[in-house]
Amino acid sequence: MIALIQRVSEANVTVEGNTLGTIGKGLVVLLGVEKGDTDAQAAKLAHKVTGYRVFEDDAGKMNLNVAQAGGELLVVSQFTLAADTKKGMRPSFSGAAPEEAARLYDLFCDHCRQAGLQTQTGQFAADMKVSLVNDGPVTFWLQV
């Protein structure tokens, strides 16, 4: 399971012109599910994302997690994160897990909410438009 997280000052996701999720300060989480991913991995990655210290404290150091910084989450499913790009000029998606991805995506979001974070989402498997203002820029690839 992969999470590409971006620290943002604002972000939103739309489908067919309808806004589904909007956040101010927080993290955009692009979530990719791979074959073999488990419920335990979804819980572990949610714990890592919600606890990852990428927001600045009063001294200007990245010492605060999203909750400590008063932020929110916008979680967007992103199967392309599971692509194999090692060979050729076209990605292979044989490592993606479409049969389990929706359930694990929902489970990940539930874990984030249980951690007390306001969690907005996109629409699984839809053609989404994501707009964001990356703050920093700060972007990290997390994998469990």
Single out the catalytic residue among 19, 38, 80, 114. 80
The SS3 call for residue 53 is coil
Eight-class DSSP state of 37: -
Verify whether residue 80 is a known catalytic residue: yes
Verify whether residue 124 is a known catalytic residue: no
Single out the catalytic residue among 6, 14, 41, 78. 78
Single out the catalytic residue among 79, 108, 119, 120. 79
Answer whether 75's CB lies under 8 Å from 122's CB. yes
Q: Choose among 143, 22, 126: nearest CA to 74.
A: 22
Q: Which residues sit opposite 142 in a β-bridge?
A: 3
Distances (CA, A) of 105 to 18, 33, 88, 90, 102: 21, 8, 29, 25, 5
Q: Which residues are marked as active site?
A: 78-80
